[in-house]
Structure formats: structure tokens, C-alpha cells
Amino acid sequence: MVSAPTLHVVSTELAVGSFAMAGIAFLLAGLGSHGWLGMKRHLQLADHVAHFALAFGLLALPFAIITGIQSSPGEGLDHPLLINKMLLGSSAFGLAIGVLLARRAHGPEIWTRHLGRRWQALGGMAAVGMVLLTASLGGTYARGESLLSWLPFSFDTVPLMPLWFSTALLIIALVNIGLVRRQPSP
């Protein structure tokens, strides 16, 4: 029988790998939509990769969460790092859903709209960044090491997300919701 920590490693690698691929594709799509680096001709490919990888990462994320809870040595959310992981993971999940809904409502033409291309790329990369930060917190919790220990804030207290960061996330989410409600341009 496979243990919960082994399943957690596999599901986490699937989720983090998918989100990392989505982040690179969102960056390339954002650059391509502005015509930078000659990426305009690859915009459709970057769009499909970004959204497919984001959707696959969203499917893998619940498995990573469930196996992470099962393999945790404590009694649920008894450590500030785990609470921070929950807050960041939930925020990333919400942003990713908003990005996918906006893309579904407008199709690939979202990259031709002035407001759509910026917020689509920003929302996708923000969701990816929060998942990668969440994964780094898992390394801090399990092994006491992280790739992000050079950042100027501490992970040992619960209010990791300051008010300005929460406000920025709310604005990105509201703009993506607004993009869903707007009719696609002909």
C-alpha cells in the first residue's frame, strides 16, 4: 500500500508542475499579446497551454491538499504555516477559477482586448505565484527549508497576507469577474 506522504509528494509535483507551466505560458501569452519578443504568432499556443495547465493544476490541487492533511504529523491546522498554506491555496484557487471563467466567456479573443490581456496574464501569474509560495511553505513546514526564505516577511505568524495584498487580490478577482460579465467584442 502507498503511504499518504508518498501520495502527497506525487500529487504536489503534479499540481506545482502544472501551475509552473501555466505561469510560464501566461507570461509568454502576455508578452505575445503585446507583440513583444516576436511572440504574436505563438499567442494561440501559449493561450491553450496556459489555460489547460491551469485547469489541470486545479484538478490536482485537491489531491495535494487531502494527502497533505493525511500526511501531516499534527492534528489538522495546528501550525501557522499550515494556516498560511490554506489561505494562500484558497486565494490561488479562486483566482485561477476567475481566470478560467473569463477565458471561457471570451475565448482566445480575450488576448486581443486591451484590458483583457493584461488582467488575464496578471490573474494567471498571481494564482501561479501563490501556489508556488504555498508549496514553498510546505517545504518550510516539512524540512525547515525553503527557496523563499530570503523574502522580507516571516511565515511563522498567521497574517501573512497584509491588507495591501488582500486588496490587490480582490481587485484582480473583481476585474476578472467583470470580464466574464462583459459581452465579447464582435
Lowest mean pLDDT among 65-69, 111-115, 180-184: 180-184
pLDDT at 22: 93
Determine the residue type at 136: S
Q: Looking at residues 150-179, what average pLDDT do you find? A: 70
pLDDT of res. 24: 92
What per-residue confidence (pLDDT) applies to 156? 62
CA–CA gap between residue 161 and residue 144 (Å, rounded): 21
Predicted pLDDT at 19: 92
- Note the pTM of the prediction, 2 decimals: 0.76
For all residues of the chain together, what is the average pLDDT? 78
pLDDT in tens, 98-137: 888 888 877 777 777 776 777 888 888 988 988 888 887 7
State the pLDDT confidence band at 23, using cuts at 50, 70 and 90.
very high
12 neighbors 69 (Cβ within 8 angstroms): no
Q: What is the pLDDT of residue 71?
A: 77
